[in-house]
């Protein structure tokens, strides 16, 4: 029997440890009754949905887009072998406070706009299940004139909102369980837009908000990220310049 070189053994050990770490994260979520219930209620449905879409389940990569004007949340996913994402499902948003425009201060009850990731998952949320959106990011901090920007922005259930994005309890069970599985392997980006920024709708925004050049400059910037995904069906790599504006790939 041949003896594997030491470096190969190291790769095998590291791979096993990574798998163990992922299982621990998943099992930690399943300690909570609501997450176990979400798995029981939604796992077979999600598996069937992904099979119909031709994407492995759970997917290697996942991406969320939120459109405030249309009040919808989109889920996209992709296998590890491809960078092109497939549209999986669209959820109607049943509650969302504030107006069009980014969140710039604490207490404005605005849903943020920009490019974020899902952070911690709360299986014991007051709103059934909730997923933290990592607002404020470096762009928000740079572009805001206020010292207190607020926080605690979540995607959650219960159809109530004070600056958050709410869907129904049965829908959040589905989305939460999906994110809980994907998040053990990769980040889950969340891109939040004022509306679908097609050229036509963006031109409408430009006319409606023609007296707010600062806001239009921001929307012009986030439209670059929107257009990138529309053209490539792959989320852009997002960086934040020293002036606070987003840069893409």
What element of type H or E holds 130? strand 130-133
> Could you tell me which of 29, 42, 53 has the C-alpha nearest to residue 172?
42
Residue 164 among the catalytic residues: yes
Instruction: State how far the Cα of 181 lies from the Cα of 201, in Å rounded to an integer.
Output: 35
Instruction: State how far the Cα of 59 lies from the Cα of 77, in Å rounded to an integer.
Output: 6
Helix/strand/coil for 80: coil
DSSP annotation string for 180-219:
HHHTTTS--EEEEESS---HHHHHHHHHHTTT-HHHHHHH
Q: Are strands 61-67 and 72-78 parallel, antiparallel or unpaired?
A: antiparallel
Task: Pick the catalytic residue from 19, 128, 156, 206.
Answer: 156
Task: Pick the catalytic residue from 146, 164, 191, 206.
Answer: 164
Instruction: State how far the Cα of 129 lies from the Cα of 109, in Å rounded to an integer.
Output: 20
Please tell me the number of Cα atoms within 13 Å of 45 on its side-chain side: 13
Beta strands in 107-188, from DSSP E residues, in sequence order? 114-122, 130-133, 153-156, 165-166
CA angle centred on 117, ends 56 and 244, rounded to 5° = 140
Residue 18 among the catalytic residues: no
| Residues noted as catalytic | 156, 164
């Amino acid at each position: 029997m041949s003896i594997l070189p030491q470096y190969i053994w190291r790769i095998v050990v590291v791979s096993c440890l990574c798998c163990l770490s992922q299982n621990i994260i998943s099992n930690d979520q399943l300690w909570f009754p609501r997450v176990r219930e979400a798995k029981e209620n939604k796992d077979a449905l999600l598996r069937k949905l992904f099979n119909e879409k031709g994407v492995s389940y759970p997917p290697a990569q996942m991406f969320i887009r939120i459109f405030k004007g249309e009040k919808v949340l989109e889920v996209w996913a992709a296998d590890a072998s491809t960078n092109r994402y497939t549209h999986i499902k669209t959820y109607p948003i049943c509650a969302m406070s504030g107006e069009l425009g980014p969140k710039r201060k604490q207490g404005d009850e605005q849903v943020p706009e920009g490019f974020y990731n899902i952070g911690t998952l709360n299986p014991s949320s007051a709103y059934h299940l909730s997923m933290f959106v990592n607002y404020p990011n470096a762009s928000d901090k740079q572009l805001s004139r206020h010292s207190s920007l607020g926080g605690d922005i979540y995607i959650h259930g219960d159809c109530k909102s004070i600056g958050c994005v709410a869907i129904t309890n049965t829908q959040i069970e589905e989305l939460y369980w999906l994110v809980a599985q994907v998040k053990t392997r990769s980040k889950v980006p969340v891109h939040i837009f004022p509306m679908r920024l097609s050229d036509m709708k963006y031109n409408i925004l430009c006319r409606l908000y023609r007296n707010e050049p600062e806001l239009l400059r921001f929307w012009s910037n986030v439209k670059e990220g929107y257009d990138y995904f529309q053209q490539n069906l792959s989320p852009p790599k997002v960086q934040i310049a020293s002036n606070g504006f987003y840069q893409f790939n």
